[in-house]
Amino acid sequence: MSEPDGSRLVAERIASGAKIAALSGAGLSAASGIPTFRGAQDSLWARYRPEDLATPQAFAEDPELVWRWYDWRRGLIAAAKPNAAHRSLAEVEDRNPITVITQNVDGYHQRAGSSRVLEYHGSIWKLRCLECGRETIDERVPIPILPSCAACGGLLRPGVVWFGEIIDPRVMESSEREAADCEVLLVIGTAGVVYPAAGLVAVARDSGALVAEFNIEPSGVSRWVDVFIPGSAADTLPRIVRAGAGR
Ligand code: BJW
Ligand code: ZN
Protein backbone atom coordinates (compact mmCIF):
# COMPACT_ATOMS: atom_id res chain seq x y z
CA MET A 1 0.00 0.00 0.00
CA SER A 2 1.30 3.47 -0.72
CA GLU A 3 0.41 7.03 0.17
CA PRO A 4 -2.12 8.46 0.91
CA ASP A 5 -4.21 5.40 1.93
CA GLY A 6 -1.30 3.74 3.71
CA SER A 7 -0.38 6.91 5.60
CA ARG A 8 -3.97 7.29 6.74
CA LEU A 9 -4.10 3.69 7.96
CA VAL A 10 -0.89 4.12 9.97
CA ALA A 11 -2.12 7.41 11.45
CA GLU A 12 -5.44 5.79 12.42
CA ARG A 13 -3.78 2.81 14.10
CA ILE A 14 -1.54 5.15 16.10
CA ALA A 15 -4.53 7.32 17.02
CA SER A 16 -6.39 4.29 18.32
CA GLY A 17 -3.63 3.69 20.89
CA ALA A 18 -1.87 0.75 19.21
CA LYS A 19 1.24 -0.71 20.82
CA ILE A 20 4.18 0.57 18.81
CA ALA A 21 7.75 -0.48 18.25
CA ALA A 22 10.10 1.74 16.26
CA LEU A 23 13.30 0.53 14.59
CA SER A 24 15.49 3.52 13.83
CA GLY A 25 18.66 3.95 11.82
CA ALA A 26 21.12 6.62 10.76
CA GLY A 27 18.61 8.29 8.40
CA LEU A 28 16.60 9.42 11.42
CA SER A 29 19.48 11.54 12.66
CA ALA A 30 20.37 12.76 9.14
CA ALA A 31 18.11 15.81 9.52
CA SER A 32 20.11 16.70 12.66
CA GLY A 33 23.19 16.92 10.41
CA ILE A 34 24.72 13.60 11.45
CA PRO A 35 26.13 11.76 8.41
CA THR A 36 24.68 8.33 7.59
CA PHE A 37 26.96 5.36 7.03
CA ARG A 38 26.17 4.48 3.45
CA GLY A 39 25.01 7.73 1.89
CA ALA A 40 26.98 9.90 -0.54
CA GLN A 41 29.09 12.15 1.67
CA ASP A 42 31.80 14.71 1.29
CA SER A 43 33.45 14.47 4.70
CA LEU A 44 37.05 13.62 5.47
CA TRP A 45 35.85 10.16 6.39
CA ALA A 46 33.75 9.49 3.29
CA ARG A 47 36.41 7.26 1.73
CA TYR A 48 36.13 4.78 4.61
CA ARG A 49 33.33 2.22 4.64
CA PRO A 50 31.79 1.21 7.99
CA GLU A 51 33.16 -2.29 7.32
CA ASP A 52 36.69 -0.75 7.30
CA LEU A 53 36.42 1.07 10.62
CA ALA A 54 33.67 -0.53 12.70
CA THR A 55 35.41 -3.84 13.30
CA PRO A 56 37.54 -5.29 16.11
CA GLN A 57 40.24 -6.01 13.48
CA ALA A 58 40.43 -2.35 12.42
CA PHE A 59 40.72 -1.29 16.06
CA ALA A 60 43.45 -3.87 16.76
CA GLU A 61 45.42 -2.75 13.70
CA ASP A 62 45.04 1.00 14.09
CA PRO A 63 43.26 2.12 17.28
CA GLU A 64 44.31 5.72 16.68
CA LEU A 65 42.57 5.88 13.28
CA VAL A 66 39.40 4.31 14.67
CA TRP A 67 39.42 6.62 17.70
CA ARG A 68 39.86 9.68 15.45
CA TRP A 69 36.75 8.64 13.54
CA TYR A 70 34.76 8.22 16.76
CA ASP A 71 36.10 11.48 18.19
CA TRP A 72 34.96 13.30 15.02
CA ARG A 73 31.50 11.74 15.26
CA ARG A 74 31.22 12.48 19.01
CA GLY A 75 31.98 16.12 18.20
CA LEU A 76 29.25 16.28 15.55
CA ILE A 77 26.70 14.62 17.82
CA ALA A 78 27.54 16.87 20.77
CA ALA A 79 27.22 20.00 18.61
CA ALA A 80 23.87 19.03 17.09
CA LYS A 81 20.57 17.98 18.58
CA PRO A 82 17.60 15.66 18.11
CA ASN A 83 15.16 16.65 15.34
CA ALA A 84 11.38 16.62 14.86
CA ALA A 85 11.34 12.88 14.15
CA HIS A 86 12.99 12.06 17.50
CA ARG A 87 10.59 14.44 19.24
CA SER A 88 7.50 12.94 17.65
CA LEU A 89 8.46 9.45 18.90
CA ALA A 90 8.85 10.92 22.39
CA GLU A 91 5.49 12.74 22.17
CA VAL A 92 3.63 9.63 21.08
CA GLU A 93 4.37 8.16 24.55
CA ASP A 94 1.52 10.31 25.89
CA ARG A 95 -0.96 8.10 24.04
CA ASN A 96 0.67 4.84 23.03
CA PRO A 97 2.89 2.20 24.58
CA ILE A 98 6.11 2.49 22.55
CA THR A 99 9.59 1.01 22.60
CA VAL A 100 12.30 2.49 20.41
CA ILE A 101 14.85 -0.01 19.16
CA THR A 102 17.65 2.11 17.77
CA GLN A 103 20.69 1.12 15.78
CA ASN A 104 22.01 4.63 16.40
CA VAL A 105 24.64 5.25 19.04
CA ASP A 106 24.05 9.01 19.40
CA GLY A 107 21.66 8.96 22.38
CA TYR A 108 19.26 11.36 20.62
CA HIS A 109 16.09 9.37 21.40
CA GLN A 110 16.76 9.69 25.13
CA ARG A 111 17.68 13.35 24.72
CA ALA A 112 14.35 13.94 22.92
CA GLY A 113 12.49 12.36 25.84
CA SER A 114 11.80 8.75 24.83
CA SER A 115 11.83 6.69 28.01
CA ARG A 116 12.05 3.16 26.65
CA VAL A 117 15.01 2.90 24.29
CA LEU A 118 16.93 -0.26 23.41
CA GLU A 119 20.39 0.66 22.09
CA TYR A 120 20.89 -2.26 19.73
CA HIS A 121 24.42 -1.25 18.66
CA GLY A 122 25.47 0.32 21.98
CA SER A 123 26.34 3.93 22.73
CA ILE A 124 29.09 6.22 21.49
CA TRP A 125 29.23 7.77 24.99
CA LYS A 126 29.97 4.48 26.73
CA LEU A 127 33.58 3.30 26.86
CA ARG A 128 34.92 -0.13 27.78
CA CYS A 129 38.37 -1.11 28.99
CA LEU A 130 40.01 -3.83 26.91
CA GLU A 131 42.02 -4.98 29.96
CA CYS A 132 39.63 -5.02 32.93
CA GLY A 133 36.27 -4.72 31.14
CA ARG A 134 35.18 -1.69 33.21
CA GLU A 135 32.49 0.41 31.51
CA THR A 136 32.15 4.15 31.97
CA ILE A 137 30.12 6.99 30.51
CA ASP A 138 32.51 9.56 29.05
CA GLU A 139 31.20 12.64 27.26
CA ARG A 140 34.51 14.45 26.71
CA VAL A 141 34.76 16.17 23.33
CA PRO A 142 37.43 15.98 22.12
CA ILE A 143 38.56 12.83 23.85
CA PRO A 144 42.29 12.21 24.40
CA ILE A 145 43.61 9.83 21.75
CA LEU A 146 44.25 7.15 22.88
CA PRO A 147 42.00 7.19 26.00
CA SER A 148 43.02 4.99 28.92
CA CYS A 149 41.19 3.35 31.80
CA ALA A 150 41.24 5.26 35.12
CA ALA A 151 41.23 1.97 37.02
CA CYS A 152 43.99 -0.02 35.29
CA GLY A 153 45.53 2.13 32.55
CA GLY A 154 44.32 -0.22 29.80
CA LEU A 155 43.18 0.97 26.38
CA LEU A 156 39.53 2.05 26.22
CA ARG A 157 37.29 1.27 23.23
CA PRO A 158 33.90 2.70 22.24
CA GLY A 159 31.01 0.79 23.85
CA VAL A 160 29.43 0.00 20.51
CA VAL A 161 28.80 -3.20 18.56
CA TRP A 162 31.17 -3.73 15.66
CA PHE A 163 30.82 -6.16 12.73
CA GLY A 164 31.40 -9.73 13.85
CA GLU A 165 30.50 -8.90 17.47
CA ILE A 166 27.37 -10.12 19.18
CA ILE A 167 24.47 -7.94 20.23
CA ASP A 168 24.01 -7.77 24.03
CA PRO A 169 21.80 -10.85 24.55
CA ARG A 170 19.39 -8.98 26.85
CA VAL A 171 18.94 -6.19 24.31
CA MET A 172 18.51 -8.71 21.51
CA GLU A 173 15.92 -10.68 23.43
CA SER A 174 13.94 -7.58 24.46
CA SER A 175 14.05 -6.26 20.89
CA GLU A 176 12.75 -9.50 19.43
CA ARG A 177 9.97 -9.57 22.02
CA GLU A 178 8.95 -5.99 21.26
CA ALA A 179 9.00 -6.64 17.51
CA ALA A 180 6.87 -9.75 17.97
CA ASP A 181 4.40 -8.09 20.37
CA CYS A 182 3.84 -4.72 18.70
CA GLU A 183 0.77 -3.86 16.64
CA VAL A 184 2.57 -1.26 14.54
CA LEU A 185 6.28 -1.30 13.63
CA LEU A 186 7.73 1.98 12.41
CA VAL A 187 10.95 1.38 10.42
CA ILE A 188 12.70 4.70 10.17
CA GLY A 189 15.80 5.73 8.22
CA THR A 190 17.64 2.45 8.00
CA ALA A 191 19.21 0.85 4.93
CA GLY A 192 18.00 -2.49 6.32
CA VAL A 193 21.18 -4.32 5.36
CA VAL A 194 22.82 -4.95 8.72
CA TYR A 195 21.71 -8.07 10.59
CA PRO A 196 20.37 -9.15 13.02
CA ALA A 197 18.73 -5.67 13.33
CA ALA A 198 17.11 -5.81 9.87
CA GLY A 199 15.60 -9.20 10.72
CA LEU A 200 13.36 -7.52 13.33
CA VAL A 201 11.23 -6.23 10.46
CA ALA A 202 10.43 -9.79 9.39
CA VAL A 203 9.74 -10.76 13.02
CA ALA A 204 7.11 -8.01 13.32
CA ARG A 205 5.57 -8.76 9.96
CA ASP A 206 5.35 -12.49 10.66
CA SER A 207 3.66 -11.70 13.98
CA GLY A 208 0.93 -9.71 12.25
CA ALA A 209 2.06 -6.14 12.94
CA LEU A 210 1.31 -3.33 10.51
CA VAL A 211 4.79 -2.39 9.26
CA ALA A 212 5.34 1.17 8.02
CA GLU A 213 8.65 2.38 6.61
CA PHE A 214 9.84 5.99 6.56
CA ASN A 215 12.77 6.53 4.19
CA ILE A 216 13.86 8.78 1.34
CA GLU A 217 14.29 5.68 -0.85
CA PRO A 218 13.46 1.96 -0.75
CA SER A 219 15.72 -0.12 1.50
CA GLY A 220 16.77 -3.72 2.00
CA VAL A 221 13.64 -4.37 4.06
CA SER A 222 11.07 -2.56 1.90
CA ARG A 223 9.83 -5.87 0.49
CA TRP A 224 8.59 -6.77 4.00
CA VAL A 225 6.68 -3.57 4.75
CA ASP A 226 2.96 -2.87 4.31
CA VAL A 227 3.28 0.87 3.84
CA PHE A 228 6.20 2.89 2.44
CA ILE A 229 6.15 6.58 3.31
CA PRO A 230 8.68 8.46 1.17
CA GLY A 231 10.50 11.57 2.37
CA SER A 232 12.69 12.80 5.19
CA ALA A 233 11.57 11.25 8.47
CA ALA A 234 11.80 14.67 10.12
CA ASP A 235 8.89 15.73 7.87
CA THR A 236 6.88 12.55 7.42
CA LEU A 237 6.91 11.06 10.93
CA PRO A 238 5.57 14.14 12.77
CA ARG A 239 2.90 14.49 10.09
CA ILE A 240 1.64 10.91 10.59
CA VAL A 241 1.86 11.03 14.39
CA ARG A 242 0.11 14.41 14.58
CA ALA A 243 -2.57 13.46 12.05
CA GLY A 244 -3.47 10.65 14.45
CA ALA A 245 -3.59 13.05 17.39
CA GLY A 246 -5.94 15.34 15.45
CA ARG A 247 -3.37 18.14 15.49
C1 BJW B 1 16.75 8.75 5.50
C2 BJW B 1 17.04 10.09 5.57
C3 BJW B 1 16.03 10.93 6.05
C4 BJW B 1 18.80 9.09 4.84
N5 BJW B 1 14.86 10.43 6.42
N6 BJW B 1 15.58 8.26 5.86
C7 BJW B 1 22.96 -12.24 7.92
C8 BJW B 1 23.20 -12.02 6.59
C9 BJW B 1 24.38 -11.39 6.17
C10 BJW B 1 25.33 -10.95 7.09
C11 BJW B 1 25.08 -11.15 8.43
C12 BJW B 1 23.92 -11.79 8.83
N13 BJW B 1 23.93 -11.84 10.19
C14 BJW B 1 25.05 -11.23 10.63
C15 BJW B 1 25.78 -10.81 9.58
C16 BJW B 1 27.09 -10.10 9.64
C17 BJW B 1 26.97 -8.62 9.91
C18 BJW B 1 26.14 -7.98 8.81
O19 BJW B 1 24.98 -7.66 8.97
N20 BJW B 1 26.74 -7.76 7.65
C21 BJW B 1 26.04 -7.16 6.51
C22 BJW B 1 26.48 -5.70 6.31
C23 BJW B 1 26.30 -7.99 5.29
N24 BJW B 1 26.40 -8.37 11.22
C25 BJW B 1 27.14 -8.37 12.32
O26 BJW B 1 28.34 -8.61 12.29
C27 BJW B 1 26.43 -8.10 13.63
N28 BJW B 1 26.79 -9.07 14.58
C29 BJW B 1 26.36 -10.34 14.51
O30 BJW B 1 25.61 -10.72 13.65
O31 BJW B 1 26.84 -11.18 15.51
C32 BJW B 1 26.68 -12.58 15.37
C33 BJW B 1 27.73 -13.06 14.42
C34 BJW B 1 29.05 -12.88 14.73
C35 BJW B 1 30.04 -13.33 13.84
C36 BJW B 1 29.67 -13.91 12.63
C37 BJW B 1 28.32 -14.06 12.32
C38 BJW B 1 27.35 -13.63 13.23
C39 BJW B 1 26.87 -6.76 14.23
C40 BJW B 1 26.54 -5.61 13.37
C41 BJW B 1 27.12 -4.33 13.99
C42 BJW B 1 26.89 -3.10 13.13
N43 BJW B 1 27.61 -2.01 13.68
C44 BJW B 1 27.50 -0.68 13.10
C45 BJW B 1 28.48 0.28 13.84
C46 BJW B 1 27.91 0.60 15.21
C47 BJW B 1 28.80 1.57 15.96
C48 BJW B 1 28.92 2.91 15.31
O49 BJW B 1 27.91 3.61 15.10
O50 BJW B 1 30.05 3.25 14.98
O51 BJW B 1 26.16 -0.20 13.21
S52 BJW B 1 27.79 -0.63 11.32
C53 BJW B 1 26.55 0.59 10.99
O54 BJW B 1 25.44 0.01 10.22
C55 BJW B 1 25.95 0.94 12.36
C56 BJW B 1 24.51 1.13 12.01
O57 BJW B 1 23.71 1.02 13.19
C58 BJW B 1 24.26 0.01 11.03
C59 BJW B 1 23.05 0.21 10.19
O60 BJW B 1 23.14 1.37 9.43
P61 BJW B 1 21.83 2.20 9.08
O62 BJW B 1 21.28 2.79 10.31
O63 BJW B 1 20.92 1.36 8.29
O64 BJW B 1 22.45 3.43 8.26
P65 BJW B 1 22.78 3.58 6.69
O66 BJW B 1 23.67 4.74 6.53
O67 BJW B 1 23.22 2.31 6.10
O68 BJW B 1 21.36 3.90 6.03
C69 BJW B 1 20.71 5.14 6.24
C70 BJW B 1 19.31 5.03 5.66
O71 BJW B 1 18.61 6.21 5.96
C72 BJW B 1 19.26 4.86 4.13
O73 BJW B 1 18.29 3.88 3.80
C74 BJW B 1 18.81 6.23 3.64
O75 BJW B 1 18.02 6.15 2.44
C76 BJW B 1 17.97 6.70 4.79
N77 BJW B 1 17.86 8.15 4.95
N78 BJW B 1 18.33 10.34 5.07
C79 BJW B 1 14.66 9.10 6.28
N80 BJW B 1 16.25 12.31 6.14
ZN1 ZN C 1 40.69 -1.07 32.96
Please state whether the predicted TM-score (pTM) of the whole model is above 0.85: yes
Q: What is the pLDDT of residues 37-62, one digit of tens each?
A: 987 676 778 888 898 999 999 999 99
d(CA 179, CA 21): 6
Q: Which residues contact 21 (CB under 8 A, 6 or more apart)?
A: 98, 99, 100, 101, 178, 179, 181, 182, 184, 185, 186, 204, 209
Ligand 1 neighbours (beta carbon < 6 A): 25-27, 30-31, 36-39, 50, 54, 103, 105, 121, 160-166, 189-191, 193-196, 214-217, 219, 232-233
Atom 38 of ligand 1, nearest CA residue: 164
**Closest Cα to atom 11 of ligand 1:** 195
What was the pLDDT predicted at 47? Answer: 83
Number of H helices, E strands in the chain: 10, 9
**What residues are labeled active site?**
121
Q: Which residues contact 175 (CB under 8 A, 6 or more apart)?
A: 101, 118, 120, 200
47-100 pLDDT, tens digit per residue, is 888 989 999 999 999 999 999 999 999 999 999 999 999 999 999 999 999 999
Confidence at residue 39, expressed as pLDDT on a 0 to 100 scale: 78
Write the residue with the smallest CA distance to atom 80 of ligand 1.
232
From CA 8, how far away is CA 6, in angstroms rounded? 5
**Type of residue numbered 238:** P
Quote the pLDDT of residue 246.
Answer: 57
- Give CA separation, 45 vs 12, 30, 41, 141, in Å: 42, 16, 8, 18
Give, as residue ranges, everything with CB less than 5 Å from ion ligand 2. 129, 131-132, 134, 149, 151-152, 154
Residue 22 CA to ligand 1 centre (angstroms): 16
Distance, in Å, from the CA atom of 207 to the CA atom of 141, rounded to the nearest integer, reads 43
> How far apart, in whole angstroms, are the C-alpha atoms of residue 114 and residue 234?
16
pLDDT at position 189, please?
Answer: 98
Q: What is the mean pLDDT of each run of 10 residues along the chain (247 residues)?
A: 83 97 98 90 81 95 97 97 98 97 98 98 98 98 97 98 98 98 98 98 98 98 98 98 72
